[in-house]
Amino acid sequence: MGIPLAHKDIFCTRGLRTTCGSKMLSNFVSPYDATVVRRLQEAGTVSLGKLNMDEFAMGSSNETSYFGPVRNPWNLGCVPGGSSGGSAAAVAARLIPAATGTDTGGSIRQPAAFCGITGLKPTYGRVSRYGMIAFASSLDQGGPMARSAADCALLMDAMAGHDPLDSTSHPQGGGRFSAALGRSLQGLRVGVPAEFFGAGLDPEVAQTVETAIQWFAAQGAEIHPVHLPHNAHAVSTYYVLAPAEASSNLSRFDGVRYTHRSAAAKDLQELYLQSRYEGFGAEVRRRILVGTYVLSAGYYDAYYRKAQQVRALIREDFRRAFAEVDVIMGPTTPTPAFALGAKSADPVSMYLADIYTIAVNLAGIPALSLPCGFSKEGLPIGLQIMGDYFADELLLGVAAAYQRDTDWHRRAPAWEEQ
């Protein structure tokens, strides 16, 4: 028998339901495996099943699933983060040693931070998107979630690599990620952006992350200030581009073929409308409406085109920063995990939970979150490490060095007693 793991329910798995956490796909059984699923099977892993998620990966708390919310194993009254919250919670609770996740605007890193595990969002194109149900095609990227960077590297050895079935797959996407784990930190140039330590950051998170960064300095790394001036516009840019792509991708779910079909429709037009209204939850409908609006003839230039221009500026910010440093470090999230229902009635507040993660997806660069401490309430705090294109191995090596000298990633919640 091989290593057991489980898959986020966004990866198609032959013979099993693949629901994307939605009523729309609640009875869909995939006839094929996603490339990620197939490669991990070929490497000898054993799948234990599928993991809950925000509906169609749209959410930052794992509360939008048709099947109900996921709870954080460190505190069952708190969210695990989203959209890969089921994956993060299962690994944190020691139900499985590893899981797959997807990251469109922070959906691997944010739940990894909230649940005290390690999660890597790879460089866009290094992990195949074939068989991964699309939310926003230019942003989505699959990746590993596990207790440690070393475990994530082993998963990447199997997951990554060019896939002719995926037009966005990079021809040189593969690599030996586990071979990068023994690197020295001497002379590593670490950039710290002031924009990640301003208003809105919980003081406890700031102090914990700063302590972790000073550990790297004590090992011989050089700490440099860097600037990412357009990060302030990342959330608004993302919530134009991602819904626009979602409105296009989700148009295929119309009640005609393999999705939920309304029994109340009287004609074809009503079948489309009623099936989509019944099948999609409130957050998905909200994003489809926003996306359709910004792509409409009268507003395309004012919103979508402008957002693409800002996206280019965000990429340029990172290009300039990585000309001076090897990695960038900062908090993964502005706060530890928040209470279930605390942000459900305030979508904007929910969206701001991803303020430090979204720019990475807009730029297409790799980033990793690993645990670096706990709040006074006993909730995990995550350190985010970002790298230049195809610096995934470097990030895993840097994270593994930190985890060889600390035990935050080894701590497990006493969830059985809650």
How would DSSP label each residue in 103-164? -SSSTTHHHHHHHT-EEEEPPTTSB--TTB--SSTTT--EEEEESSHHHHHHHHHHHBS--T
Task: Write the DSSP symbol of residue 17.
Answer: B
Residue 8 is among the residues annotated as catalytic for this protein: yes
Count CA atoms closer than 13 A to 285's CA, side-chain side.
Answer: 12
Q: What is the pLDDT of residue 347?
A: 85
Q: What is the pLDDT of residue 417?
A: 47
Q: What is the pLDDT of residue 415?
A: 55
The whole-angstrom separation of Cα 193 and Cα 159 is 31
Q: What is the pLDDT of residue 297?
A: 87
Q: If you search the block for the tokens 């700063």, which residue do you land on?
A: 210
Residue 107 is among the residues annotated as catalytic for this protein: yes
Judge contact between 287 and 247, C-beta under 8 A. yes
pLDDT by residue, tens only, the chain of 418 residues: 689 999 999 999 999 999 999 999 999 999 999 999 999 999 999 999 999 999 999 999 999 999 999 999 999 999 999 999 999 999 999 999 999 999 999 999 999 999 999 999 999 999 999 999 999 999 999 999 999 999 999 999 999 999 999 999 999 888 899 998 988 999 999 999 999 998 899 999 999 999 999 999 999 999 999 999 999 999 999 999 999 999 999 999 999 988 999 998 899 999 999 999 999 999 999 999 999 999 998 899 999 999 999 999 999 999 999 999 999 999 999 999 999 999 988 888 888 889 999 999 999 999 999 999 999 999 999 999 999 999 999 999 999 999 999 999 999 998 554 4
Which of 47, 61, 83, 247 is labelled catalytic? 83
Q: What is the pLDDT of residue 82?
A: 92
The whole-angstrom separation of Cα 11 and Cα 30 is 9
Domains of the chain, by residue range, sit at 4-226+327-417
In order of 56, 67, 353, the CA distances from 233 in angstroms are: 24, 33, 14
Range 265-295 burial, b when 16+ CB lie within 10 A, else e = beeeeebbebbbebbbbebbeebbebbbbbb
Q: Who's near 94: CB < 8 A, 6+ residues apart? A: 412
The architecture of the domain spanning 4-226+327-417 is Alpha-Beta Complex (3.90)
Tokens encoding 47:
């799948």
Residue 121 is among the residues annotated as catalytic for this protein: no
Judge contact between 101 and 368, C-beta under 8 A. no
Q: Give me the DSSP letters along 201-217.
A: --HHHHHHHHHHHHHHH
Judge contact between 8 and 87, C-beta under 8 A. yes
Q: What is the pLDDT of residue 104?
A: 97
Give pTM, 2 decimals.
0.96
How many helices (H) and strands (E) are present in the chain, helices listed first?
Answer: 12, 10
Which of 65, 107, 247, 275 is labelled catalytic? 107
